[in-house]
Structure 1
Amino acid sequence: MTRPPTMEDVARAAGVSRSTVSRVFQGGGERVSPDAMIEVHEAAERLGYVHNLVASGLATRHGRQLGLLIRDATNPAYGHLHAEMNRAVEAAGRTLISVTAFRHDYGTAEVEGLNRLRGQRVAGIFVGTGVTAAEDLVEAVSAVPLMIVGRPNDHPLIESVSYDERSHGRMVAEQLAAAGHRRIAVLNAPLLYSRVFALRMRSLRERCHELGVETREVELLPVEQGVVRALDAAREEHLTCIACPVDYVALDLLRAAAERGVRVPEDVSTVGFDGMGDGLDLLGLATVRLPIAEVAHEAVARMGDLLVRAQESPKGPPAPLTDASPSARHAVHAGQFLPGRTLGPPAEHRRG
């Protein structure tokens, strides 16, 4: 059996030293001339050489690779977060390894994904998921710098840069009240399904109560049935708007409304959250746009601080975190409300 090509083989084929090849693959080409870099990559391609990142030590906690645990990239908000995290990590001169968990795994796949990233010995890990409890992440924090990105977090031992979902829920409630709505349906999902959804809708309900807007809670799951239940409740109980915890649910509601001859917003209004799907402006969906780019770039900068702190510590794993450890920093960024045709005044206001 023919042995796989080695770094020495690439060096001989390219006419350079082994240390030059090492700098090209392990240092991203630092201190290597452009001509030499081209020769090395062309030689590696001819020989079929594949550099082993883990064996080379790039994935140690002092290395260049960072991990991202992300949830359900079919959700546009997570897809955009993935893209922005890649962009920010590359701008910082590092590389990103990502693991995706699907939304119906209820946390199991997230824990497995986190373990896979730790197995890759990445320098630090970003957790951009909405299900796994922060308490279940503390063990990982004691092994490698870890930061929650995107989702709300106030755990005293875990750093985070998040969307201000409390503010977003209140923002939507204020828009509904300003449009004249006084009785609305609110689609709710269990905490286990999404901590983000739960916080958004709880904040919306609380602000509605303060503003004198009555809320009727409707079970979201399964989504195809939840949107129908909300439409039925709106018809039977004279509710004038249906608040959805995420844009893809609002789109399912628009489909169900069209199938039943329910006009939006003439018969019932609807709003969503995220504001990241292609074509939402054409549909005219009223929603909250998440500040994804801002969150991603601050998270990567903050991770750099954590890595520097880890490098300054004595060699070996970080000391276990305890309640006496310094409190973690939590930053939040608020998005903006995007008006759309799906949110209009109640029918009785239009008649007046």
Structure 2
Amino acid sequence: MVAAREPTMEDVARAAGVSRSTVSRVFQDGGSVSPDAQIAVREAAASLGYVPNLVASGLAGGSRQQLGLLIRDATNPAYGHLHAEMHRAATRSGRTLVSVTAFRHEYGSAEVEGLRRLIGLRVGGVFVGTGVTGPEDLHRATAAVPTMVLGRPNEDPRLESVSYDERAHGRMVLDEVAARGHRRIGVLTAPLLYSRVFDLRSRAVLERARERSVHAVPLDLLPVEEGVVRALDAAWDQGLTCIVCPVDFVALDLLRAAAVRGTDIGEDVSVVSFDGLADGLDIIGLATVRLPVAALAADAMGRMGEILAAPAPLPVRHALHAGTFVPGRTLGTA
């Protein structure tokens, strides 16, 4: 039995009644093709089951319309939401986004390999939405294309970034905790290698605690299953009235451990966290900082468009977006 032949660009052109070059332009950017011709080409492609070769179209179009996204562990709601919003922003801008995921705990090697794969696809620019690989490695791996760091701390003068203002978030959390009368708190911390975001959030909370004369005790988070239990023990032994978690999934693990031992969260000890993106947090009543993911994605895509359109390199920009604090029953009064 002979396998069915894959439809080609020529087949689409014949079915749509246009030239092959018109079909090519539609799948590159569509900018110079009339709306009627675009509709005819896309309907013909859908009818024939034609799938454009994105790598080839990227080469033909100078790669300007095809961008790459390296995302870390899309099972984490913060990265999952960022992944979705970046694809929405790309679609709105008429571009294609190709994404590669490096899972948690694979650290820098998998992320660098993912970047190399994206650049091998001849993308016009790369977004790096990860929390581990250092700026030196990023710059070395992506020097050939415009690169933008997303959602993580970055002050490297060679790398563009559109990030969450985690320093402001940490200070925001401490101010909310202090406003409810808490004067002895625990702050779960993790090594810089584990997450630059976690590290900055924790340091910002501790820094603001010193300014507000709040006694803050750093507590080792790792491994998470043991760290949350140690935090509950420390709250009991040291009279801590609130525990600050670096991310919501850690806070949820802490709530589970508290339920097992019969600790009343919000009454016996308060819990506050960061991200605010997982489904059901409003039902749980977790007090957290909600990240402005959609605003960050729109800004990043717009800025990449400016970089690609500029006749000469633009000055490196480091943009910050602050989120909002979401009150919840897990943060009670001291």
How far apart are the structure 2 equivalents of 1:13 and 1:91? 27
Q: 2:316 aligns with which of 328, 347, 351?
A: 328
Matching residue of 2:261: 260
The Cα offsets for residues 192-232 of structure 1, whole Å up to 9 and x where unpaired, read as 11000000000101111121111222211111111111111
Tell me how far 1:61 sits from its aligned partner.
4.9
Aligned residue in 2 for 1:19 = 21
Structure 2 counterpart SS, 1:251: helix
Q: 1:336 to 1:253 in 2, by over 3 A?
A: same
Match of 1:203 in 2: 204
Render the CA deviation track for 1:300-346: whole Å, top value 9, x for unaligned. 1111111112xx25xxxx8xxxxxxx862111111111111101112
Deviation at 1:43, TM superposition (A): 4.2
Q: Please tell me whether the aligned partners of residues 53 and 59 of structure 1 are also in contact (alpha carbons under 8 angstroms).
A: no
**Aligned residue for 1:191?**
192
Counterparts of 1:23-42 in structure 2, within 5 Å, are: 23-28=25-30, 30-34=32-36, 36-42=37-43
The equivalent of 1:6 in structure 2 is 8
CA separation of 1:59 and 1:20: change in aligned 2, threshold 3 A: closer
1:59, 1:121 within 8 Å by CA — same for their partners in 2?
no
SS in 2 for 1:173: helix
Q: Can you list the C-alpha shifts for 1:62-117, whole angstroms capped at 9, x where unaligned?
A: 42011111111111111111121112221111111111111111222211111111
SS at match of 2:68: strand
How has the CA–CA distance of structure 1 residues 11 and 61 changed in structure 2, closer, same or farther, with 3 Å as cutoff? closer
Q: Would the aligned equivalents of 1:59 and 1:65 in 2 still touch at CA under 8 Å? A: no
Question: Which residue matches 2:84?
Answer: 83
- Residue 344 of structure 1 is matched in structure 2 by 332
CA distance in 1: counterparts of 2:60 and 2:286, whole angstroms: 43
Q: CA deviation at 1:40?
A: 3.5
The 3-state SS of whatever aligns with 2:246 is coil
Q: CA deviation at 1:49?
A: 3.2
The C-alpha deviation readout for 1:267-323, integer Å capped at 9, x for no partner, is 1100000111111111111111111121111111111111112xx25xxxx8xxxxx
> What CA distance in whole angstroms lies between the structure 2 residues aligned with 1:210 and 1:40?
63
Q: Distance in 2 between matches of 1:239 and 1:57?
A: 56
Normalised to the residue count of structure 1, the TM-score between the two structures is 0.88
SS of the counterpart of 1:272?
strand
Map of 2:239 onto structure 1: 238
State how many pairs are aligned: 332
- Alignment map for 1:47-66 (pairs within 5 Å): 47-58=48-59, 61-66=62-67
1:132 aligns with 133
Question: Could you list the runs of 5+ residues in structure 1 that have no partner in the other structure?
Answer: 319-325, 347-352
Larger RCO of the pair (alpha carbons < 8 Å, separation 6+): 1
Q: Distance in 2 between matches of 1:12 and 1:161?
A: 44
Query: Any conservation in 1 of the 2:115–2:142 contact (CA below 8 Å)?
Result: no
Q: Measured at CA, do residues 19 and 345 of structure 1 come closer, stay the same or move farther in structure 2, by a change above 3 Å?
A: same
- CA-based RMSD of the aligned residues comes to 2.0
Structure 2 residue runs of 5 or longer lacking an equivalent are none
- Percent identity, please: 67
| d(CA) in 2 for partners of 1:44, 1:85 | 25
CA–CA separation in structure 2 for the residues paired with 1:62 and 1:50: 18
**1:229 to 1:61, Cα distance in 2 relative to 1, 3 A:** farther
Instruction: Kindly provide the CA deviation profile for residues 10-61 of structure 1, in whole angstroms up to 9, marking residues without a partner as x.
Output: 3234443222322332334752453x44554454455543321212335765
Contact 1:10-1:49 at 8 Å conserved across structures: yes
Checking the alignment, whether the CA contact within 8 Å between 2:28 and 2:61 is kept in structure 1 is no
**Secondary structure at the counterpart of residue 50 of structure 1:** coil
d(CA) in 2 for partners of 1:162 and 1:57?
A: 27
CA distance in 1 between counterparts of 2:116 and 2:61 reads: 15
One-letter amino acid of the counterpart of residue 324, structure 2: Q
Contact 1:156 1:327 in 2 (8 A): no
Moved more, 273-282 or 17-26: 17-26
Aligned in 2, Cα 1:233/1:28: closer, same or farther, shift over 3 Å?
Answer: same
If the length of structure 2 is used for normalisation, what is the TM-score? 0.93
Secondary structure, counterpart of 1:103 in structure 2 = coil
Task: Decide whether the 8 Å contact of 1:70 with 1:98 is kept in 2.
Answer: yes
Q: In the TM superposition, what is the alpha-carbon distance from 1:139 to its structure 2 partner?
A: 2.1
Superposition deviation, residue 123 in structure 1: 0.8
Q: Which residue matches 1:118?
A: 119
> What code does the residue aligned with 2:14 have?
R
State whether residues 183 and 214 of structure 1, in contact with CA within 8 Å, keep that contact through their aligned partners in structure 2.
Answer: yes
Contact kept, 8 Å, 1:62 with 1:307, in 2: the verdict is: no
* C-alpha distance in 2 between matches for 1:174 and 1:148: 28
Letter in 2 for 1:138: H
